[in-house]
Chain A
Amino acid sequence: GAVVSQHPSRVICKSGTSVKIECRSLDFQATTMFWYRQFPKQSLMLMATSNEGSKATYEQGVEKDKFLINHASLTLSTLTVTSAHPEDSSFYICSARVGGSYNEQFFGPGTRLTVL
């Protein structure tokens, strides 16, 4: 099956710093990648949809200046949490969709962000 990786798997940072999370599709080209956020024991909330070569589409209530998304190639999307605060601590999961499919998304293993 298609493999999606995320890096780092875990990051701890100080309040006010910026953190970049990478999402890569390893064995396929992903025209669309998605970023989700998950709080403990809760479901996934879609933050934004990222299409290669164009601006990301953010869901209502998600600050685009806070969560910068860059989809530079068909295999890489990055999420940068700018000026992180403790309330940004969460589990961030990316997924990638193979173009032309019936919307099957392949998920990365997630990144645990802890902001002190």
Chain B
Amino acid sequence: SQQGEEDPQALSIQEGENATMNCSYKTSINNLQWYRQNSGRGLVHLILIRSNEREKHSGRLRVTLDTSKKSSSLLITASRAADTASYFCASSPISGGYNKLIFGAGTRLAVHP
């Protein structure tokens, strides 16, 4: 299967709480990216973390990468109702050069006011 795995598949929280999503991938990577997708829309790039990086921050987002475990996590702090969306990780496998992205199954996040 192309896909990586993400958990949880769905997450429901209250505004102000933090949301953590996990992603695992299968092969050695150049980098890993996180995307957001609102229902029925295209993807918005959130953050890219390179294989030699362990943690990266962007506003309320914090991404970690553990290449020994082939896993990554996305933390959204102080969530808002507008954060409701599906979140996908996408790994860039070394075998694919810099061309391919292999998407995880996604986490559907619902943030309730």
Q: Could you tell me which A residues sit within 8 Å of B by CB distance?
A: 1, 4, 6, 32, 34, 36, 41-46, 49, 59, 91, 93, 95, 97, 101-110, 112
Q: Could you tell me which B residues sit within 8 Å of A by CB distance?
A: 2-3, 30-31, 33, 35, 40-45, 48, 50, 88, 92, 98-106, 108
Cα distance, A107 to B44, chains bound together (Å): 7
Q: Are B48 and A43 in contact (CB under 8 A)?
A: no
Provided the pairs A44-B88, A45-B2, A59-B2 are in contact, do residues A105 and B106 lie with their beta carbons within 8 angstroms?
Answer: no
Chain A positions within 8 Å of B88 at CB level = 43-44
Provided the pairs A102-B50, A103-B98, A104-B33 are in contact, do residues A93 and B42 lie with their beta carbons within 8 angstroms?
Answer: yes
Interface of B is mostly: strand
Q: Are B43 and A102 in contact (CB under 8 A)?
A: no
Chain B positions within 8 Å of A103 at CB level = 30-31, 33, 48, 92, 98-99, 101
Cα distance, A103 to B92, chains bound together (Å): 8
Cα distance, A102 to B31, chains bound together (Å): 8
| A51 nearest in chain B by CB position | B99
